[in-house]
Structure 1
Amino acid sequence: MRKLLLQMQMSLDGYVADKDGGMDWMVWSYGNDWTWNTTLRTYHTDLMASIDCILLSRKMAVQGFTAHWAALALRPDNPQSHFAENLTKAHKVVFTKTLARSEWENTTLAKGNFVDEILALKQVSGKNIIAFGGAGFASSLIKAGLVDEFHLIVNPVILGAGLSPFKEIRGSLGLHLIESIPYDHDIVVLKYLKKEYGL
């Protein structure tokens, strides 16, 4: 069965946006000028090559994610183009109750129960699945026990308050550290696996 990976940038105290929804505190962003160092670029490009299905919230899909990466996939002169090509080639599933269609190729709109939809996707043969989304979407995935592996890009900042993907968890969620990778500018990528995998 395929695993569902969740990747998110966050503050040291576990927020993915400040209390006003701002994210300008993040050291690295997906701007047109990819200022990330070579090692971090390689990590992201390799991660995208290891999956063939992407889960997106409606909000993320319509607020620029789709248009941004679809455009960059057509620009081989840009260092992000290979990363963007992997996004474009992957099967994308947008969870929505309101969208009628998507402009991005290889995209399916999922309008049923998201738990049932994702469990069915996990049974399909292929590479792993990755989820991108805001705090609300991520929180729903975590609460439902659907996330198998966490890739947390921890920024060297404490916000004190903000939007958390862990706010709906009741009880504890045991994790096993797979890898901890430090990068420039005091960034750390932490990879965790749910402990139910026998570790």
Structure 2
Amino acid sequence: MRKIILQSMITVDGRFAGPKGDISWHNVDEEYNHYALNFLSSLDTLLFGRVTYELMQSYWPTTYAIENDPRIAKYMNSLSKIVFSKTLDKVTWNNTKLFSDILVEEITELKQLSGKDMAILGSSKLANAFIKYDLIDEFRIIVNPLVLGQGISLFQGLQSQLNLKLLKAEAFQSGNVLLQYTKK
């Protein structure tokens, strides 16, 4: 069975984005890119909410991204993508499907198809909806050595406690720490 993995960078104070959605603070270097390439190669589908989709779609297909980060851009542009949005009426990034609602039965069917894993990248509202419906199998949280003090919490709006079991903790030279969890 395919897993759904929530992958997100956060700050020490739990923010996945700063005020107005700013992510310029992401601590990305060659070591992180090596991790990201390995992670992306284990996937065949990316899952986005509207805001994250619009951010990713505005960057990864650009000439700038393709020339300056060709290895990551190759995966981001070639992987299948599903966007969950009630407000978008079309998507323009290649290999992208638009779903207006999260239908648990459809997602469960997707998980049972053969193939590689799927990942939610960021997308706080989508992640919290998937948590509510018990659809996330693994959490990969990369803590950046930074406190923003304000911004958007990754788990903002979560209505119930979520107990996790640590699978792996890995420190990067940059000070980032990967925390990999599954549900208890």
TM-score, normalised with respect to structure 2 = 0.86
Q: Percent same amino acid at aligned positions?
A: 34
| CA drift at 1:71 | 2.5
**2:9 touches 2:122 (CA, 8 Å); kept in 1?**
no
Alignment of 1:45 onto 2:40: no
Is the alpha carbon distance of 1:73 and 1:49 closer, same or farther for their aligned partners in structure 2, counting shifts above 3 Å?
A: farther
The one-letter code of the counterpart of 1:61 is Y
Residue type of the alignment partner of 2:49: S
Partner of 1:165: 154
Aligned counterpart in structure 2 of residue 112 of structure 1, from 101, 111, 115: 101
Deviations 1:147-182 (A, max 9, x none): 111111101123344322223334432222222111
Would you say 1:68 and 2:83 are equivalent positions? no
The runs of 5 or more residues in structure 2 that have no matched partner are: none
Aligned 8 A contact 2:43 2:117 in 1: yes
1:27 aligns with 2:27: yes
Counterpart of 2:86 in structure 1 is: 97
Q: 1:23 to 1:101 in 2, by over 3 A?
A: closer
Pick the structure with more strand per residue. Answer: 2
Q: Which amino acid aligns with 1:10?
A: I
Q: 1:20 to 1:61 in 2, by over 3 A?
A: closer
Aligned length: 184
Instruction: Kindly report the root-mean-square deviation, in angstroms, between the aligned alpha carbons of the 2 structures.
Output: 2.3
**Normalising to structure 1: TM-score of the pair?**
0.81
* Structure 2 counterparts to residues 1-12 of structure 1, below 5 A: 1-12=1-12
Distance across 1 between alignment mates of 2:81 and 2:47 = 6
